[in-house]
Amino acid sequence: MPGTATTSEMEKLARAAYTELATERTTWKTWNIRAAAARAAMEHRMVTADEREKLIAAVSARVAEMSVELTPSVTAFTPAAFTRADGTSMFVRTHAGLFTSAEVLAAEERLLAAARSVDAATVSSESVERVLAAPTADGYFLTDDQADAVRDITASGRRVDVLVGPAGAGKTTTLTALRATWELEHGEGSLIGLAPSAAAAKVLADSLGVATDNAAKWLHEAARLPDTGKEIAHLADVLQLLDAEDPEWRQRLAQSGDVTERAAEWAAFVGADQAHAWTAERGRTVVAKRLEKLRVDEQRWTFRPGQLVVIDEASLAGTLAVDDLVSRATHAGAKVLLVGDWAQLASVDAGGGFGMLVRDRGDGLAPELTGVRRFTHKWERIASMQLRVGDIAALDAYDKHGRLIGGGGEDMLDAAYRSWRRDELAGLQSLLIAGDSTTVTDLNRRARADRVATGEVEDDGVSLRDGTIAAVGDRVITRNNQRRLAVGTGWVKNGDTWHVQAVHRDGSLTVRRAKGNGTITLPAAYVADHVEPAYAVTAHRAQGATVDTAHALVTGATMMREILYVAMTRARASNTAYVVTDLDEEARHLRDADDPAPTARSVLTTVLRRQGAALSARETARLETDKALSIGQLAAEYDTLYRAAVTDRQATLLLACGVQPTDVADSEHLVALAAAVHRADAHGLKPDTVLPKLAAAKPIPAEADPVRVLAARVARWTDHATETAPSIVRRQRRLIAGLVPAADGVTDPEIQRALGEREALLEERAAEIARRAINERAAWLRTLGPEPATAAEQTQWRRCVEVIAAYRERHDITDTASPIGDPGFDWTQRHDYRQAAKAVQAAQQLAGVLKDPPARQQAAQHHQPQQSTGRSF
């Protein structure tokens, strides 16, 4: 009934929303729950918008109850002035609740347990070494990293093993040797392959020459095996009746479609409605044929003892699917090998399992292919591995070799397209990669128009779902698996590329495979819904491809590191980034007039720091707790509390400078002024005395915001005083974790308590992340020199590491070559950078690698910002 929802209806809606979330996401936030609830409730008729809102709220509340909450608890005291009406802290974002499903947590636990269990099949070292001693089919021997991976996987006995294979690292060669090794002891066909997509499964089959399938298809068929078993038993009974010449066989055969859930399939196979008219000979023939097919299916969709099940592109596989496969393999006595790269694109389903298992093995302990072989140029092999882990040093190499081009959006679009088109005309295999489907469609239209103009493609054709045209000569891609459309020994798969041979009046297309043999006519309905041009692609579609050249259009607004890495590692000879440096409307609004303009380097630095690799639910929970206790979060809370405590003082200062009260109330730059005054305070510069002088030094333009102008003047004055005239600085306030100026003159007891607790947490966090860096032997520590021998110097050296680690976390520094990277342009970061640079020099001096002033000056110059902006268009 419109306007109401019964308890059972509410439960049904909540279950639908929960299932959507648990299937598609590893974790979800409060707003994800609301969105799923709104979608689930869409079909339920309501009279008013208010009633619909109440329904969505009720469904959302039920979904939250069904989920497992992972939200980190607030650890530090929050004053009443900083709490909302519902009692939550303003330092925690609204609707920031984090949830997962019990199913995902249980699946992750089972996967971890399986990866730690070592009772699976192995191969003797003698067999392994015999295979490794022989050259490959191409006449080469495996490199050390490839051979070590084969040894590790075959000897580990783990129920679930992993193999990390970065782009171009020789995965196929390694797996080919692994197959030969495994089959030497476990027999031919004992290694089989699965992949998250049919296209990836086909690539694996062609590379290794083994039976492979789409993982989802395999699980679907495996889930039907109980049904298959029932039908086999039933038909075996029929066959017994036939052998005994019992006339009841006809009746039993006629019931075959009712025994399983596949009545339609049975009817299509044998025409069960006519079974009563069959002779015994006909019945025996039909039953024997059906039994043969069912037994083949049963064997195909069942793992066997001693098998090695290779799941390729495992980072794209959902956690629940991998758990199901591993559970079935373990039950059968088979071993599973997950092959992939956690640094590439992740699953569209609830994922993160592969990366979790790699990290669970410990740093550097999981089998990993480290020698990149795809790229023609040696420098690109090194730079691609730096790019993979977000090391901004990679940008220096790409920039030096002309692979970074920066400019406006239209210019970059044009440059990328022209370069791709030139390579195509030169006979090279080239990829044109864009960040979104709209841009891909625009580029496809342009490519087709140019090909029509040169006579490569006919003008008239059939319309496709994205509004483009496909005609004779066009290159197209199919977007849907359709096993009924057989081509040679294969079938039409999502991701297959084709050349159009003929266009038919009914809208169908005759196409030929772009790679390999096979021609097929795609039905009109399939063409309309599942065919697109294949000139430009997204990075997701490009993953797994290897070509001669690649041209990637990069927009920094939302792009993740993993997408950039995939886009810049597809080609052997040349991978080029065309970086859009235009600011979007929101960024232009937030940008100050004196902020430096974005460059190709600055945009890519932001992208490299934006990590999007899938994490498991338990890792996400730990990360959220880490964020809540991070130096950046705690320092921001500390500064906010301190500024609030000195609001009256700031207003008095502005009035003393002649700023009108209305200008103070209307300004959007009060926070910036507070930060500038706070920093000046921290250096003992007495801004109360100097600010009126700075205001009077030069007239403030009538059209300018006086608060913004004064904030900038205080910042410049502080920079000048601390850098060029240190004698002006009478005292520097104590720095928490070596970075955050300690609050002074706060009288409010609640704010005093809140500041004190956050100060303690900041110091604890700095010590913790420094210990972690030392224990994990972080690469950036090498620059500091060895830890001193004496206890006193060791304590000082570790304090320096704490300051540097706090700086790196607060400002998201990912550079592995330098401890502190570039100083950036933000006032706070520049201040922190100076403190961190002092800590670097002090640590080096304590370690004995920095002894004289010239060396110290050279070290300081080493930490100056990189000014290269990339080749401009």
CATH architecture label of 106-219+304-360: 3-Layer(aba) Sandwich (3.40)
Q: Could you tell me if 500 and 470 are in contact, meaning their C-beta atoms sit under 8 angstroms apart? A: yes
**Chain centre to alpha carbon of residue 57:** 31
Residue type, 2: P
- Which of 32, 112, 142, 549 has the alpha carbon at shortest distance from 338? 112
Over the stretch 685-743, which tens digit does the pLDDT of each residue have? 777 777 888 888 888 887 788 888 888 888 888 877 776 655 444 456 689 999 998 88
Confidence of residue 244 (pLDDT cuts 50, 70, 90): confident
Beta strands in 504-539 (DSSP E): 509-513, 519-522, 531-533, 536-538
Q: What is the mean pLDDT of the chain?
A: 87
For the residues 454-460, what does the mean pLDDT come to? 93
**Residue 80: Cβ-neighbour burial (10 angstroms; 0-12, 13-18, 19+):** exposed
Q: Cα–Cα distance between 622 and 616 in angstroms, integer?
A: 10
Q: Which residues pair with 407 in a beta bridge?
A: 580
**Burial state string for 758-796 with b = 16 or more CB within 10 A and e = fewer than 16:** bbebbbebbbebbeebeeeebebbebbbeebeeeeeeee
User: Which single residue is written with the structure tokens 């370069």?
Assistant: 419
Question: What pLDDT is attached to residue 733?
Answer: 65
Query: What tens digit of pLDDT does each residue of 780-827 get?
Result: 999 999 999 999 999 999 999 999 999 999 998 888 778 998 887 676
301-319: per-residue pLDDT in tens? 999 999 999 999 999 899 9
d(CA 467, CA 181): 51
3-state secondary structure 790-845: CHHHHHHHHHHHHHHHHHHHHCCCCCCCCCCCCCCCCHHHHHHHHHHHHHHHHHHH
- Partners of 214 in the β-ladder: 195
Residue holding tokens 């990149």?
A: 372
Tell me what pLDDT residue 273 has. 52
Are the CB atoms for 372 and 343 separated by under 8 Å? no
Q: 3-class SS at 453?
A: helix
Residue 123: per-residue pLDDT: 97
What is the DSSP annotation of 739-783? TEEPP-S---HHHHHHHHHHHHHHHHHHHHHHHHHHHTT-GGGGG
Confidence of residue 231 (pLDDT cuts 50, 70, 90): confident
Nearest residue to 541 via CA among 653, 440, 613: 440
Q: Does residue 665 have a pLDDT over 70? A: no
Decide if 301 contacts 223 (C-beta within 8 A).
no
Residue where the block lists tokens 């009060």: 670
Domain boundaries, the chain: 7-103, 106-219+304-360, 225-300, 391-608, 647-741, 777-872
User: For 130-151, what is each residue's pLDDT tens digit?
Assistant: 999 999 888 889 999 999 999 9
**Residue 383 in this model has a pLDDT that exceeds 60:** yes
3-state secondary structure of 259: helix
Q: Could you tell me how many helices (H) and strands (E) the chain has, helices first?
A: 36, 25
- Which secondary structure element, helix H or strand E, spans residue 195, and what is its range? strand 191-195
CA 208, chain centre distance (Å): 28
Residue 390 CA, chain-centre distance (Å), reads 12
Tell me what pLDDT residue 690 has.
Answer: 79
pLDDT at position 870: 41
Structure-block tokens of residue 472? 């004779």
